[in-house]
Structure 1
């Protein structure tokens, strides 16, 4: 299946990145004025401040579905999104979950230039996902953080990251759809927990996704619960 998402198949050169920047600037109509990037409503009461903050970094426990749920809201609101260093990222699933492929940039294999690529595309993308191949040194992290704040881009890191605004993780996963030895998996309920640098962890029970492949809070369960402990 052909994809509308822009994909850089090789480790990008400086010229390639500059060409991508120019292309996105031409196509991008507006820049969000708010300091919060519109986020899927299912996460509004969990994330510090009620959404993804421009210039902030968030860590996500290794979950492709949770990652796509976080991208779906900004993408639907018009933000350009990028995914760096995640070659198995599924564009068909992303499209089903509401991510606009016309505003999605994929850099599956950034090579040793993963930090430089991330900093470069922060000039023109609103939300960037990276999976670091190794730990970055403190000076590199500081430079990237300054670039994100300057450009107003949010960074989502698969795995731990210094100075993260919050860590998001899943637990208590249960699937629906299997009957007495028959049927197929059609929906999943999980507990999403957000642990921020300030305040206590907050958790909510969610469909990720529901039978209609939508993300939403589980009905008849208090949407926001304080995590025990």
Structure 2
């Protein structure tokens, strides 16, 4: 499908939906590599989608369950990390209604942009666009922009995701999701007198499932030359200390 952006006006919604269906029908199957080669990371599991390693340690099953709805609040950087993990492992994903989500950041985290569709302006009904995308993609990230989705419709979209084996991550309010993820930026490293280059962003993350205890953890998004990587807070601190010692 590619990483191009679609920007419909209010009167073109049906044409946009028809175009999405056409592209998906003409595209490769779910989870297939766009190059025909093996993906760089491990292939997609039948029941889980990959996530950044520090987040995997917090999730009950070590990944995002396929066929589930996940409600998300907080920093966009972790959403970008999920997209990078899925597309970098050979999966296909889409972002709906989140125009500020950066493709450059996704690429630096390892995303394959040829497997990522970006719909920056889905029109007045972003949930309908997401529903169409669930038919042929592994992961759909939906930004509601403050819109409320009625409980009955939440159940319909949840059933669609379950039937298609696709994962829907909703940045906004959602009724009865399988998981709730919340991330909060708690600090930065590398800023200060004589140190103007940002080296890492520190996040606190909370994961709540329908069953089981809430899990909390801390992780850092660390900048390297031309790439970024996710590290547990303890590991990131050790790496930062070593760099400062040799600089």
Same fold (TM over 0.5): yes
Following TM superposition, the consecutive aligned residue runs of length 4 or more in structure 1 with deviations greater than 6 angstroms are: none
Which runs of 5 or more structure 1 residues have no equivalent in the other structure? 222-229
Counterpart in the other structure of 2:60: 48
Q: Distance in 1 between matches of 2:151 and 2:46?
A: 29
Residue 48 of structure 1, CA deviation: 2.3
Residues 180-195 of structure 1 mapped to structure 2, 5 A cutoff: 180-195=193-208
Residues 33-182 of structure 1 mapped to structure 2, 5 A cutoff: 34-133=46-145, 134-171=147-184, 173-182=186-195
Q: Distance in 2 between matches of 1:18 and 1:45?
A: 39
Residue 60 of structure 1, CA deviation: 1.6
Q: Distance in 1 between matches of 2:185 and 2:30?
A: 40
Contact 1:130 1:156 in 2 (8 A): yes
Residue 30 of structure 1, CA deviation: 5.0
| Aligned-CA RMSD value | 2.2
Secondary structure (helix, strand or coil) at the match of 1:111 reads coil
Length, aligned pairs only: 217
Which runs of 5 or more structure 2 residues have no equivalent in the other structure? 32-43, 237-247
Counterpart in the other structure of 1:227: none
Residue 191 of structure 1, CA deviation: 2.1
Residue 15 of structure 1, CA deviation: 4.2
Q: Give per-residue Cα distances to partners, 1:156-175, cap 9 Å, x unaligned.
A: 11123111122222246121
Q: TM-score by structure 1 length? A: 0.85
Counterpart in the other structure of 1:9: 7
